[in-house]
Amino acid sequence: MIRDFAIVWSERGLLLSGLGNTTILSVLSAIAGLVIAFGLTPALMSKQRWLALTVRVFVDGMRCVPFLLFAYIVYYGLPSFGIRLDNWSSGLVALTVYHAAYLAEILRGAWAAQPREPIEAGIAFGFSGPRLFRRIILPPLLLAAGPVIGNQMIQIVKDSAFLTIIALPELTHAASSIQSRHYVPFAAFITAVVLYWGLCLVIEAGVSGIDRLAAARR
């Protein structure tokens, strides 16, 4: 068994580059997903019924599709419509769009639970449109929803593992290559698990930082 882990250690370069790629994928799609959610959430709360309904259909639809299937559609399905993305772009698009829907729903829930008066005060003091959302509505949402958003970030990290099926060289892909090259499945996969766990610890540290900010404000 120790010999197996020694083999994994000898392939550490491959694992680390996989970990690096998983991190890049997760960070980029978390940021892009949040930014898209910042656009979707006001639409979900919009008084324009057609807009709210359109976005609602998208969000609910996304949440009912298994991520693996969605990644397949983006990578293998879209070329039928003339949209051909390489595996990196496909992976990023799939992760981002999929989780943007979840994040939008998380923010909508937090918004619905906010007291109405501070937002009304924003309107009364001359805020409107994107400035009202950015300066008055959004900051309390992020503070209130911090832990749930953190949870979603962890989900993003874990879903990125599915992208091994479109040959994206992320962490699971690296572990898989090592195991098939040397036939050390347990050592290779358990090492990957530990590395995923490390990523989640980093996210949780970030969440508890946000929670400290929030605690001072409630």
Partner 1 sequence: MIDDMPVLDVAGISKRFGDLEVLTDISFTVTRGETVCVLGPSGSGKSTLLRCINWLERPDAGQIYLNGDRIGINNGGVVMSDRELSRVRTRIGMVFQHFALWPHLTVLQNLMEAPVQVQKRPAAEVREEAMALLAKVGLSDKSDVFPARLSGGQKQRVGIARALAMKPDVLLFDEPTSALDPELVGEVLLVMRELAREGRTMVIVTHEMGFARDAATRILFLDRGRVVETGPPERFFVNPDTERARQFIQRYAAG
Under the criterion CB under 8 A, does residue 13 sit at the interface with partner 1? Answer: no
CB 147 within 8 A of CB 206: no
Of 136, 125, 156, the closest CA to residue 29 belongs to 156
Q: Which is closer to partner 1, CB of 2 or CB of 216?
A: 216
User: Would you give the end-to-end CA distance of the chain in angstroms?
Assistant: 51
The window from 98-106, 128-136, 175-183, 196-204 that contacts partner 1 (CB under 8 A) reads 128-136
Sole binder of partner 1 in the list 50, 81, 112, 117 (CB under 8 A):
117
The CA-based angle 33-39-44, given to 5 degrees, is 110
Kindly state the smallest distance separating residue 48's Cβ from partner 1, in Å: 13
Residues contacting partner 1: total by CB under 8 A:
22
The window from 16-24, 82-90, 105-113, 117-125 that contacts partner 1 (CB under 8 A) reads 117-125
Residues contacting residue 144 through CB under 8 Å, at least 6 positions apart: 110, 113, 114, 214
Sole binder of partner 1 in the list 27, 69, 123, 167 (CB under 8 A):
123
Q: Which two tokens stand for residue 77?
A: 């399905």
Under the criterion CB under 8 A, does residue 209 sit at the interface with partner 1? Answer: no
